[in-house]
Amino acid sequence: MPSTKPPSKPAPKSSSSASSASSSRSRKGLVIGALIAVAALLAGWLSQYVTGDGSAGSGGGGSEKSNTAVDKGRSDNTAAGDPALMKLARRDADDPFARGDADAPVVMIEYADFGCSFCGKFARDTEPELVDKYVEKGLLRIEWRNFPVFGKGSERAALASYAAGEQGRFWQFYDAVYADKGNEKNDFTDAHLHEIAEQAGVEDLDRFDRDRAGEAARKLLDKDRTEAYSLGASATPAFLVNGQPIAGAQPDEVFTDAIERAAAAAKKDGAGTKNDTGKGAERD
């Protein structure tokens, strides 16, 4: 009988090939893990940008969509907010870019752009009511952060707002910019900024020009913008109410509900309103 040979077996992979495949899988796993971690980090903020029609606030992309609702399911979140985000409140009694008592139980931080139409809507339609109802009664403090996302014009307005603040006229400058809807996405030329400064009651325009061109103005702008981006914010306006995020120019009741829940939580906790050092972060 002719002899038969057993079927040949496939040659085993070399140890180097197996090691390479294993290394590739390991690197792929690390990349996926990193992406998941980043997504989880930003989810708390970015989820607040999802509205009834999937739209967001004004962003750097140049297009704006209306914000008309927020996720009502967030009502079961803790009103106390994230302690780390609560510490972003500066609570500096001499801060010209804040209004309200430094030790108010609730701090609302506003990240906004002077060229943003939805920021203007909030300034005209919602903020005056919040000032009358909560700021004047010592319950709420509002702290401004410059977050220009519409380019050089917005940056010029942000720097000019700093200069107005150095003469104690920031909030008057704020009101003058947002009162005129024609300022939305404006180039904010030097002449135009002078007009706004005069409307705001800025007396020394020479000093105004020096201050807006100075290093201190740029430093604070960079700090504010970096803070906003570090939170995952990419559109304006965006808010933190005692560490709880709100995105967009939402209906008044969204803000009043958040403020009252935060105030109730602060009262229940019985904790001090300042951070661990007794004072918020410095301006620079």
Higher pLDDT, 172 or 281: 172
pLDDT band at 57 (very low <50, low <70, confident <90, very high): low
**Would the pLDDT of 202 be above 60?**
yes
**Would the pLDDT of 243 be above 50?**
yes
Averaged pLDDT for residues 177-196: 95
**Would the pLDDT of 241 be above 80?**
yes
DSSP run (H or E) holding 141? strand 140-146
pLDDT score of 80: 63
pLDDT score of 283: 60
pLDDT score of 82: 85
∠ CA 243-244-248, nearest 5°, is 125
CB neighbours of residue 136 within 10 Å: 12
**Would the pLDDT of 274 be above 50?**
no
The whole-angstrom separation of Cα 203 and Cα 137 is 30
pTM attached to this predicted model: 0.73
Of all residues in the chain, what percent carry a pLDDT higher than 70? 67
Of all residues in the chain, what percent carry a pLDDT higher than 90? 63
pLDDT band at 236 (very low <50, low <70, confident <90, very high): very high
Higher pLDDT, 231 or 9: 231
Q: How many residues does the chain have?
A: 284
**Would the pLDDT of 31 be above 80?**
no
CATH code for the structural domain at 43-269: 3.40.30.10
Domain ranges of the chain: 43-269
pLDDT score of 282: 54
What is the per-residue pLDDT across 58-115, written as a single tens digit (0 to 9) for each? 665 444 433 332 333 343 344 567 889 999 999 999 999 999 999 999 999 999 999 9
Helix/strand/coil percentages in the chain, nearest 5? 50, 10, 40
What is the per-residue pLDDT across 129-185, written as a single tens digit (0 to 9) for each? 999 999 999 999 999 999 999 999 999 999 999 999 999 999 999 999 999 999 998
**Would the pLDDT of 284 be above 80?**
no
The whole-angstrom separation of Cα 90 and Cα 56 is 27
pLDDT score of 269: 82
